[in-house]
Structure 1
């Protein structure tokens, strides 16, 4: 390159530095952050106050429950738990085991039936698939009070009243459309290449379902199991309708027997056993929280 060529090359002027961004006021930022935390703490306290009040009342004598509204009891009485545990016809363990039996059947039924129905909607091509999928989604809006009378008549004719069959058998027939929709959304996110490769290797839909789809669907299955556990454990209406024998009572129905229509209710033992009944729900949510959040976040339900 000659001197003339060098002189002809334009010299680029250095770019001007970007204008300085205004610095956020440290005091204003701290005030807003503190205000947000204060609002969140107050909101959390408002939501937790009924639970904290019930926990505090379970350690108070019955005579002080409504006269002393403080969260810290002035007088601690542990007899509420002993009285509540043996206050009914059977020890409270009996009703806990009844609830666990129903919950176990409901969870297993929903996991199997809803996952199979979701696989059919997500991966199989059959006539009227979109129509039946729309009908399934519309059934979510159908309240239980609309179908409870026909169900009671049907189960009465089958002689299933005062058994756990009306509470468990429908779960084996994929009647919870919400969980079907949740799993359909999750199955659609699994690459089709996996199932297509398995089909080429000679695997059928049953093998693909159990060997490929289910192992990859742990978050959706865990979400279904957690919600089914909580909803079935807290279900009072259906259990009250189909279970009239005190020996078959579950936890929600047993708690109802503490409340007397004449006003002479055993509030202390009632609150104590209510706290006991919340322990399984707290534990299942505590240990399954990460699967619950992951299952909802990966199924489009944001």
Structure 2
């Protein structure tokens, strides 16, 4: 490697490190704030090193509020995120298979209608959805947060269709010759080969539902049913002193499930992408 190339490599890695630090700085500041008191947080500026490690913020935050500990809020979030993710994977895979591998009348019309739903902002359908769920008696339950995911999500359906288009149709034809039904082709061929796309769906959907704030805020009325995102917001009290240390402590803990999900499934995602090519 020449001197010029070495200098370019050093500058490149220096730029990447500085840019990466800039991207994760807010997270580092939050973690640092979880070990400070209110005065140190509000007057500490951009300093990331706590004057004293106040680990009691985690204990105070874990107590929650109203006699409800944060263990309840975390379990609520995990239930909603896990069920929604499972429902999204199964329903989106079924719809993707129907659109990409099954021929039926009106398929293009239904596909166009599905794509159009991706162009509609969530805020536009928020009021009609609330009215429908209220008339059905679903408001105040987890059903409005979970039920829509049992009918497929347009983004993930399209993603699975794009990945599924790379699966040779010769496999379907060979399976039909062997007497397999469309259900068998879906469960034994299409779904297993869809693994990289499914892993991507799990990572993104779980993160979206775990991080969701607006829907639980609108549909949940009982504090005992709050998810972690809504519960963390309740640490900010406009009528009294806000415990920022406890708020940041619980925000830091709320990152752990998402980080573990990504850490666990990322290996399968990389393996799936690197081995997804089908050799003849």
Considering the TM-score relative to the shorter chain, is it more than 0.5?
yes
SS at match of 1:179: helix
Number of the residue aligned with 1:126: 104
1:107/1:87 CA distance change after superposition, 3 Å: closer
SS at match of 1:65: helix
Is the radius of gyration larger for structure 1 or structure 2?
A: 1
Root-mean-square deviation over aligned CA pairs? 1.7
Measured in 1, the distance between the counterparts of 2:206 and 2:271 equals 18
**Match of residue 30, structure 2, among 38, 46, 54:** 54
SS at match of 1:203: coil
**Match of residue 37, structure 1, among 4, 9, 13:** 13
1:245/1:295 CA distance change after superposition, 3 Å: farther
Which runs of 5 or more structure 1 residues have no equivalent in the other structure? 1-23
SS at match of 2:42: coil
Q: How far off is 1:42 after superposition? A: 0.6
Q: How far off is 1:264 after superposition? A: 2.0
Q: Is residue 32–residue 48 contact of structure 2 (8 Å, CA) maintained in 1?
A: yes
Measured in 2, the distance between the counterparts of 1:288 and 1:192 equals 28
Number of the residue aligned with 2:163: 186
Which runs of 5 or more structure 2 residues have no equivalent in the other structure? none
Measured in 2, the distance between the counterparts of 1:138 and 1:38 equals 43
Q: Is 1:224 the counterpart of 2:201 in the alignment?
A: yes
Number of the residue aligned with 2:53: 76
Number of the residue aligned with 1:99: 77
Number of the residue aligned with 1:28: 4
Number of the residue aligned with 1:7: none
1:59-92 Cα offsets, whole Å, 9 max, x none, are 1122211222311111111110000010312110
Aligned residue-pair number: 274
Q: Is 1:144 the counterpart of 2:155 in the alignment?
A: no
Q: Is residue 223–residue 295 contact of structure 1 (8 Å, CA) maintained in 2?
A: no
Measured in 1, the distance between the counterparts of 2:135 and 2:273 equals 39
**Match of residue 154, structure 1, among 117, 132, 142:** 132
Number of the residue aligned with 2:113: 135
Measured in 1, the distance between the counterparts of 2:26 and 2:181 equals 53
Q: Is 1:236 the counterpart of 2:213 in the alignment?
A: yes
Q: Which has the higher contact order (CA 8 A, sep 6+)?
A: 2
